[in-house]
Amino acid sequence: DAKTTQPTSMDCAEGRAANLPCNHSTISGNEYVYWYRQIHSQGPQYIIHGLKNNETNEMASLIITEDRKSSTLILPHATLRDTAVYYCIVLGVGGSNYKLTFGKGTLLTVNP
Amino acid sequence: DAGVTQSPTHLIKTRGQHVTLRCSPISGHKSVSWYQQVLGQGPQFIFQYYEKEERGRGNFPDRFSARQFPNYSSELNVNALLLGDSALYLCASSWAAGGDSPLHFGNGTRLTVT
């Protein structure tokens, strides 16, 4: 699976959009971009994933560049409860081994 | 709908003992994976099971084993516990074993080895 690079930490004001970047320059054509977040002492929470097209769900939007070498997770109106570590993960399709490789992620702190 | 449930939530064991952790996947999910998360680090892959067969194994010693039952629930077993096995053990389920099937995690079992 391709490696990802994320900033160590970011701050965001409550009510504003939080834009979390992720670089995955070695991504292959059949690899998905996944985003998870983890709030202290809880299991990782699935947020969103995509292959080529931009995706949106009730939690967030995922913007993938045309060359697929980077992506941005957008939380449109951040709240204090969105403070968490956010993980960007690249995952291949098919095969017999389906595992998520977590890096260090980005600590997003939403400030009042 | 119930999410992934794990039991127990907390456990204290002594070095050398054996432990069994349990996981019930989301209804309809046929794949279960186990992860270990040591304090301050991201989760590390241990096992994946799909339709009761082992599909993948991470870089963990043979002291770690798992199985999946006909109802798709799963157990993780760890023998001869070491202090370094102290961690949050996470179970995740998905409806399939492929890349377009998100994993959904439980809140884990906190294991402390003394």
pLDDT in tens, B77-113: 999 999 999 999 999 999 887 778 899 999 999 999 9
Q: Is B61 on the interface with A (CB under 8 A)?
A: no
Q: How far is CA B24 from CA A43, A99, A112, B10, B34, in A?
A: 14, 19, 38, 16, 12
Q: Do A31 and B99 touch (CB under 8 A)?
A: yes
Task: Specify the pairing of strand A18-23 against strand A31-38.
Answer: unpaired
In this structure, what token pair is assigned to residue B78? 């760890």
Chain A CB within 8 Å of residue B107 CB: yes
pLDDT of residue A28: 86
B35 CB neighbours in chain A (<8 A) are 100
Out of A68-72, A99-103, B27-31, B94-98, pick the least confident: B94-98
Residue B1 pLDDT exceeds 70: no
Please tell me the distance from the alpha carbon of residue B22 to that of residue A5, in angstroms, as a whole number.
34
Give the model's pLDDT for residue A97: 54
Give chain B positions within 8 Å (CB) of A51: 100
| Contact across the interface for A49 and B102, Cβ inside 8 Å | yes
Residue-wise pLDDT tens digits, A17-76 = 999 999 999 888 888 999 999 998 899 999 999 999 999 999 999 999 999 999 999 999
Cβ of residue B48 closer than 8 Å to a chain A Cβ: yes
Quote the pLDDT of residue A43: 96
pLDDT reading at B4 higher than 90: yes
State mean pLDDT over B60-69. 97
- Whether residue A49 contacts residue B104, with contact meaning beta carbons closer than 8 Å, is answered with no
A102 CB neighbours in chain B (<8 A) are 42-44
